[in-house]
Structure formats: structure tokens, C-alpha cells
Structure 1
């Protein structure tokens, strides 16, 4: 069973997260030939102050 862990900045609306998991599940089933019930998706929402790229926290980037 495929399991996906997706990390996103916190605050995305429920409808966006719902669409994301529906599409990841759909494409996974089409590609791997599995049933939707076999696909697990874990969404971790991260605060911008806890994520950095290029040595800079996202909460401090303009």
C-alpha cells in the first residue's frame, strides 16, 4: 500500500487539502493499478517559522 507524507505550510483551506488528496489518490491508482482504499496520505502542516530554505526562515522572507 503506498503511503505519502506531504509537508505544507499551515493555513491552506480544507477544500484545497481535500482536492490534493483526491488527485494524489487518483493518479496513484491510475499509475499503480491499486484501489483508493490502499492509498494513505499524511499531511503535515508546518509553521513558516519552522521551515527554512537557503539558510532563511520562511517567516522572515519577503
Structure 2
């Protein structure tokens, strides 16, 4: 039974998360030739103040809304 963990910044809507897990499940089931109900997707969300790259917190480096369309 495959388990996939997606780590991402907080702020996406429930509808976006539903689409993400549905599409990931389809692809994983197809590629691994397993039943979709065997696929588990875990979403781990982080505040930008708790995520850093290159020694800089994302909240400082990119701002609050970075990563959303139009940002």
C-alpha cells in the first residue's frame, strides 16, 4: 500500500486539497498498478514562519501570499 506525503505551505483551500489528493491517487494507482483505495496521501502543512530555504524564513524572503496564483 503506497503512502505519499506532500509537504506544502498552509493556505490552500479545501477544494484545492481535494483535487490534489484525487489526482495524486489516480496517478499513483495507475503507475504502481494498485487499487486507488490502497493509496494513502498525507498532507503536511507548514506556516511560512516555520519553513526556510537558504537560511531565510519564507515569511521574510517571499512574504505571506507567495506561491499563490498572481503572487
TM-score by length of 2: 0.83
Larger relative helix fraction: 1
Q: 2:41: which partner in 1?
A: 41
Report runs of 4+ in structure 1 exceeding 3 Å deviation: none
The one of the two structures with greater contact order (alpha-carbon pairs below 8 A, sep at least 6) is 1
Q: How many residues align?
A: 62
TM-score by length of 1: 0.95
In structure 2, C-alpha distance between the alignment counterparts of 1:41 and 1:23, rounded to whole Å? 11
Gapped regions of structure 2 (runs ≥ 5): 63-71
CA RMSD of aligned residues (A): 0.7
